[in-house]
Structure 1
Amino acid sequence: MPTIFITGASSGLGKATAKLFAARGWNVIATMRYPEHETELPQLPGIHLLPLDVTDPAQVAQTVQRAIDLHPVDVVFNNAGYGLIGALEATSDEQLTQLLNTNLLGVIRVTKAFLPHLRANRSGRILSTTSMGGFMTFPLCSIYHAAKWAVEGWSESMSFELALHNISIKTISPGGTATDFTGRSLQLAEHAAYAGLLQQLMAAQEGVQFAPRRDYC
């Protein structure tokens, strides 16, 4: 029975992916910062929850080892991340570094931690959620775009390294999805000099018609 390891499984695409793979008979190791708060996934057969903050290198190493001890991992899905909307002038250094630490460095840390395991098995697939924002840009999203474009470029470079060991790497680049943005999934950084542009951007987003939500990866 194959096994998938998922980061950011408390909501959105991560949670939907966990449910989908479990329904198809996979072992699912679903990780999130606060698994003790999750009530739905533990009730589903085949799903095992582990704590993981991808910005904590020590916990990344510990959780990856715990996952491998549970089941040989076939697929790693780097999904943890969140959005930040606001002018660069409005963005604090803490906001900037935290987003890059989560959306970019977290992906790299988790992947690196799994490489010895996947390389020893000479098989495996690494999936990472990027975004249409990894190929195109919108105003007031520069730091988010920086992270997503970086993951795209990093993944392309990594594909050459990993091919030597029969490991594949793919990116998943969704557009708008009708999903449950909760917690810190979207942050705003406001600045009076850009208030009009922010209002226009938020109004444009409110006008977007999303497809009905469905479980998919």
Structure 2
Amino acid sequence: MKTILITGASTGIGRATAERFFARGWNVVATMRTPKSEREHDRWLVTRLDVTDADSIASALKAANERFGRIDALVNNAGYGLVGTFESMDEARIRRQFETNVFGLMRMCRALIPQFREQGEGMLINVASMGGRLTFPFYSVYHATKWAVDGFTEALAFELAPLCIRVKLIEPGAIKTDFYERSADFVHDRALSAYNAIVDKGMRRMRKAASRGAAPEAVADAIWKAATDGSSRLRYVVGADAKGLLALRRVVPDGVYRRLIAKQLLG
């Protein structure tokens, strides 16, 4: 029986993924910063894990291995969005965004790779975003983290393939989760009045677009496919918006694409 460890599993994509794998017979290690569980089962383990805390990572891996004997797959899902005007963001907020979305993800990979190498197999599944290959206004630092995850994951896949460790990249579009509310860190200094009108219009339109996004279960389905299809495929795009925008980005000139996005969100 295989075991999967999922970060950020308390809500949204992480919770839907945990439920999907549990329903299909896997052992599930659902990790979160504040553990809570509504299920008692021998295939279900909830434990504390904060990707910014190396000690909590070590403790969670120890608990998972003691309970299930091994870990076969890791889903790096923990993350959040720093959103707003870049001029309003202080360095501490920017560092926190990178610490969670990039360094936390890398920390998890670094913790599991030795175990996978010794096992002779394993799988790293990194949840990025369509925002790792295209951009929107007011998401500059968030995009920077997701572009970093995209590049890191693609490069890592090369070096781990000879070790029989598969690396996968999940690229959702807008998803109906609390990403745009509880999990978002919105920053805008209204004293910077030159931005106010475009921030109000842009964020209102972004939230409207997000309300039409796919359900988190769609991402869970993509993660299941990535974990079980046996292929060397790297990227799994989720959502009609992500598929459409990424296709558009490939075929139209840069200037045309940017004008289209600006018109839709700020015009």
Equivalence map 1:1-217=2 (5 Å) = 1-35=1-35, 38-40=36-38, 42-43=39-40, 46-71=43-68, 72-181=70-179, 184-192=182-190, 193=192, 194-208=195-209, 209-212=212-215, 214=217, 216=220, 217=223
CA deviations on 1:171-212 (whole Å, 9 max, x unpaired) are 101001112448851110012332222212222123322245
How far is 1:57 from its partner? 1.5
CA deviations on 1:54-110 (whole Å, 9 max, x unpaired) are 001222222222222222111100000001111111112221111100000010001
The structure, 1 or 2, with the larger RCO (C-alpha pairs under 8 Å, 6+ apart) is 1
How far is 1:132 from its partner? 0.7
How far is 1:26 from its partner? 0.4
CA 1:157/1:187 → structure 2, altered by over 3 Å: closer, same or farther? same
Structure 1: state its 5+ residue gaps.
Answer: none
CA 1:147/1:182 → structure 2, altered by over 3 Å: closer, same or farther? closer
Percent identical pairs in the alignment equals 40
For 1:21 and 1:61, how far apart are their aligned partners in 2?
23
CA 1:17/1:133 → structure 2, altered by over 3 Å: closer, same or farther? same
CA 1:213/1:163 → structure 2, altered by over 3 Å: closer, same or farther? closer
For 2:136 and 2:179, how far apart are their aligned partners in 1?
19
For 2:146 and 2:72, how far apart are their aligned partners in 1?
24
Provide the secondary structure at the position in 1 that maps to 2:196.
helix
Aligned residues: 214
68-77 or 3-12, which deviates more: 68-77
Provide the secondary structure at the position in 2 that maps to 1:48.
strand
Which protein is bigger by CA-based radius of gyration? 2
CA deviations on 1:151-178 (whole Å, 9 max, x unpaired) are 1101111111111210011110100111
Provide the aligned C-alpha RMSD in A. Answer: 1.8
How far is 1:43 from its partner? 4.4
CA 1:121/1:212 → structure 2, altered by over 3 Å: closer, same or farther? closer
Alpha carbons 1:22, 1:44 under 8 Å: kept: no
For 1:15 and 1:63, how far apart are their aligned partners in 2?
17
For 1:29 and 1:156, how far apart are their aligned partners in 2?
25
Q: What TM-score results when the alignment is normalised by the length of structure 2?
A: 0.75
For 2:83 and 2:179, how far apart are their aligned partners in 1?
14
Q: What TM-score results when the alignment is normalised by the length of structure 1?
A: 0.92
